[in-house]
Amino acid sequence: MVDLALLDNIRHGAAVITTDGKEVGELYAIVLDPRDNEVTAIAVNAGPHFPAPGFGAPDLIWVPIDQMADAQEDRVILTCTKKKLKQLPSYVERSFVFTPRQARPAGHEQREDLGRLVGNGCGPHA
């Protein structure tokens, strides 16, 4: 389990580096489980980082939070190699909205400290 205090250090666009020393992309988002607001993963943009219109989309990879070894403002260190990273599922953005008749689970308030990095309900897509 990753020390969640590490999440205070990371920033959108931070370089993502594997254990074999390869820079594999940039931090795209922090992923929360919408049921309990627990951090479950990070999303890595493995490129292209600014695709031209009509020339594809970024390769977004869903990385389980337990694959994060360390984090600083300018970089995130993973516990996997570049080869293992490429085997992880794609990241797909999803949003969940509570209807007025649904009660929000206790402690389900949006974590303002994570700002726009948070991707509620995002997950892997095989």
Q: Summarize pLDDT for 32-67 with one digit per residue, the tens.
A: 888 888 889 999 999 876 666 666 678 899 999 999
In order of 19, 93, 104, the CA distances from 4 in angstroms are 20, 22, 23
- Type and span of the H or E element at 82: helix 82-85
60-64/68-72 β-pairing? unpaired
pLDDT above 70: percentage of residues in the chain:
66
When divided into structural domains, the chain yields a total of 1
Token duo for residue 112: 């303002």
Residue pair 114/35 in contact by the 8 Å Cβ criterion: no
Residue 112 lies in a domain: no
- Write out the residue range of the structural domain in which residue 41 sits: 4-92
pTM of the model: 0.71
- Among 60, 80, 65, residue whose Cα is nearest residue 125: 60
Q: Does residue 111 lie within any of the structural domains?
A: no
Q: Give the domain CATH number at 85.
A: 2.30.30.240
Backbone angles phi and psi of 27, in degrees to 5: -65, 125
Q: Does the residue 39 lie in any domain? A: yes
Rounded CA separation 121/31 (Å): 7
Residue stretches of the chain with pLDDT short of 50 = 110-118, 120, 122, 126
Residue 11: per-residue pLDDT: 87
Q: 126 lies in a domain?
A: no
Closest CA to 26 of 38, 12, 36, 40: 12
119 in a structural domain? no
Is residue 98, in this structure, part of any structural domain at all? no
Does residue 87 belong to any structural domain of this protein? yes
